[in-house]
A and B are shown apart, each in its own frame.
Chain A
């Protein structure tokens, strides 16, 4: 299985901050990586796919980027509704799909 390592596990931030979450794959996943946002008691919401493509309806302050096996989700200008847990997920090695451990963005 491909292991996805996210950092940090928790991130404290303020409204308006620029925050960066990192996800590292244990081997190449090309650009087959997605980012999700999850709020308590809710299903995850797809934000970014193919490492940097913005899902329809997602605000442009969410930016995905990639460099080799390291992927980054940047939120520019943190909004109150952005406090949540974020997960990366690889879908290059389909057997099986794997997720990162999550990053909780809190005040």
Chain B
């Protein structure tokens, strides 16, 4: 049974870079032709899809992020990562990793990241 687990700092200063990783267990990140996505949910708000990556390349990002986002896959470590530059308070949210590129049946538990000085 595949499981996903987010990790990273819970507090990031404004203008800095938010970096998170999603560790995948129970399956290889290269198996099944799956894509790997990041989504987020601001406190008390709805869900926002951020982007996805495939293990052999091929990424797709939400244009609302204005080219601030990078998603990458580390096959050796069986994980994928999110890097969001130039963060502001508006980037405060619970960040979820998920398997899939269109609909999402497998999710991590989520990690709250607060942007504050």
Contacts and interface: CB of A to CB of B under 8 A. Distances in A.
Interface of A: 32, 34, 36, 42-46, 49, 55, 87, 89, 91, 94-102
A94 B110 contact: no
Given A96-B63, A99-B47, 20 more contacts: A34-B104, A36-B47, A43-B96, A43-B107, A43-B110, A44-B47, A44-B104, A45-B107, A46-B103, A46-B104, A49-B103, A87-B47, A89-B47, A91-B102, A91-B103, A97-B49, A97-B62, A97-B102, A98-B49, A99-B46
Nearest to A87: B47
Contacts of A101: 46
B64 A96 contact: yes
A56 B105 CA distance: 10
A11 B47 CA distance: 19
Nearest to A41: B110
Contacts of B110: 42-43
Interface in B25-66: 46-49, 60, 62-64
B109 interface: yes
Contacts, number: 49
Interface residues of B, number: 19
Contacts of A46: 103-105
Nearest to B6: A43
A43 B3 CA distance: 13
B49 A32 contact: no
B109 to A, nearest CB: 6
A40 B55 CA distance: 32
A102 B46 contact: yes
A94 B96 CA distance: 19
B87 to A, nearest CB: 19
B49 A96 contact: yes
Interface in B61-75: 62-64
B14 interface: no
A48 B102 CA distance: 13
